Amino acid sequence: MKTRKTAIPLAQTLRQQLLWIGSVLALGFLILIFSLGIYSADTLSDKLMWLEAESVVSQSPDQPLPRTPGMSAWRQWQNVPLDLQQVFDISNLQPGDSLETEQRNASGNYEYLYLLFIEDPRHGKLYLISRHPADQVENAFGDFLSETLLQAALFTLVIMLIIFLVIAWVLRRTLEPLSLLSEWAGQLKTHPREATDIQFPITELNQLARQLQEGVSHVQAVNEREQQFLKHASHELRTPLAVVQASLDTLQVQTANTVASRPVNRALKASNRMMQLSEALLWLARESNKTIPQISVDPHALCDQLISDHRYLLEGRDTQISQHILTPELIIEEPLLTVVLANLIRNACQHSGPGNISLQLNSHGVSVTNPAETHQHNPEPGFGLGLQLVERICQKLGWQFHFCLDRNIAVASVYWNRPAP
């Protein structure tokens, strides 16, 4: 079974995504600037050599070329000291090219050597050689790179802060209409007739709000029609049921101790159940909180009677009913309890497969367990519409109704006095 992910608010989701995007962008900026810093440091030596070359060619050709330990210039490669000629390979050297190498000097210290070959109209060919101690170059390179990265990091932080502030402002402005829609939906849930003003700054939200309002109005109209139907139907049934009841009472007296007394008694019991069902439906259709008085009920006699009334549903089927009554008396709403028990038993009998139907009742509630019937055309076992009536009664009385289906075993339970865990 897959574990359902916990839902989180949209604002939190957007903040998390923004954090991830910002982290990736910041890391990308740092990598880019670090790469640019290294590239700039590598090209810095070439730029310095060109600056030194420009200072040489700007002088008069009659002036002697510089011959210092750090910088020397030569017009002919043959005139370059032999030790420097052995360091550089100029076989493929073209005007404007530069070479770089590292060697150990006479004192045993490492130094960097740079060669730049240029061709000037006034001076002709020039070979400029620059040499610097390795530790000075590395220190200068490190200082340059540190300063570059520090400035890059500060620049990145400033840019990212500005981006975050702008996006946060945009998100807040974007979520404001959604918050208004959420508040309006809450008002629509509690006061559907008052939540008629639909004026959101986003067209799609207005369309969604109208669809929600139309859906709620449709459901409300259906519920009102259902309540009116139940109210009228139950009210209209009271008179003919009362006539039938009175007639059956008369027949019961007239057919006492005769062969016809048994079917008359069954009809009288069925009429009583119809009266109870009609009263229950009428009570459900009312919007008032008027309660039905509680009276003393014998659960043994009531369950025996209801099981006997519904045993005909099991004719020709390999199904039995067993009951376990653990309390001798209940103080409860007797008409509604009768309707609930009758529907639970009828549902179990109608949708039970071969096996045993178990009814367990105590002072806290009742539970009916049956093997669920599986049809070839519908592999999912079902349950009857009577359980919907049971659920409606439980909701209005404050009882707890549970129905579960596990491995083709159906369990319908009603608790009117749930014990503490």
Q: What is the pLDDT of residues 293-338, one digit of tens each?
A: 889 999 999 999 899 888 888 888 888 999 999 999 999 988 889 8
Cα–Cα dist 354/372, whole Å: 9
- How much is the pTM? 0.47
pLDDT at 161: 80
Phi and psi, residue 6, nearest 5°: -75, 130
Cα–Cα dist 389/368, whole Å: 16
What does pLDDT average to over the chain? Answer: 77
Using the predicted structure, report yes or no on whether residue 189 has a pLDDT greater than 80.
no
Q: What is the mean pLDDT of residues 8-36?
A: 73
Using the predicted structure, report yes or no on whether residue 104 has a pLDDT greater than 70.
yes
420 by DSSP, 3-state: which?
coil
pLDDT at 364: 92
Identify which of 378, 372, 338 has the alpha carbon closest to the alpha carbon of residue 357: 372
pLDDT at 413: 94
Q: What is the mean pLDDT of residues 254-269?
A: 77
Cα–Cα dist 184/208, whole Å: 12
Range 297-302 contact pairs with CB under 8 angstroms and sequence separation of 24 or more: 297/329, 297/330, 297/331, 297/332, 297/334, 297/337, 298/328, 298/329, 299/325, 299/327, 299/328, 299/329, 299/330, 299/361, 300/325, 300/328, 302/337, 302/338, 302/341
Q: Point out the least confidently predicted range of 85-89, 212-216, 391-395.
A: 212-216
Could you give the residue range(s) of every CATH 1.10.287.130 domain in the chain?
A: 203-285
Q: Per-residue confidence at 370, pLDDT binned at 50, 70, 90?
A: very high
pLDDT at 37: 67
Q: Per-residue confidence at 243, pLDDT binned at 50, 70, 90?
A: confident
Q: Tell me which CATH code domain 203-285 carries.
A: 1.10.287.130
Using the predicted structure, report yes or no on whether residue 343 has a pLDDT greater than 80.
yes
Using the predicted structure, report yes or no on whether residue 229 has a pLDDT greater than 60.
yes
Cα–Cα dist 105/187, whole Å: 87
Phi and psi, residue 354, nearest 5°: -60, 140
Q: Per-residue confidence at 195, pLDDT binned at 50, 70, 90?
A: low
Pick the CATH number of 295-415 from 3.30.950.10, 1.10.300.10, 3.30.565.10, 1.20.58.220: 3.30.565.10
Token duo for residue 97 = 């090219």
C-alpha distances in Å from residue 193, one per residue of 189, 217, 266 = 10, 9, 49
pLDDT at 380: 40
pLDDT at 368: 95
Q: What is the mean pLDDT of residues 238-250?
A: 76
Q: Hey, CA dihedral for 76, 77, 78, 84, is it positive or negative?
A: positive
pLDDT at 292: 79
Using the predicted structure, report yes or no on whether residue 376 has a pLDDT greater than 60.
no
Helices (H), 255-333: 261-285, 299-310
Could you give the residue range(s) of every CATH 3.30.565.10 domain in the chain?
A: 295-415
66 by DSSP, 3-state: which?
coil
pLDDT at 365: 94
Q: Per-residue confidence at 361, pLDDT binned at 50, 70, 90?
A: very high
pLDDT at 328: 92
Q: Per-residue confidence at 289, pLDDT binned at 50, 70, 90?
A: low
Token duo for residue 254 = 């007239």
Q: What is the mean pLDDT of residues 96-103?
A: 78
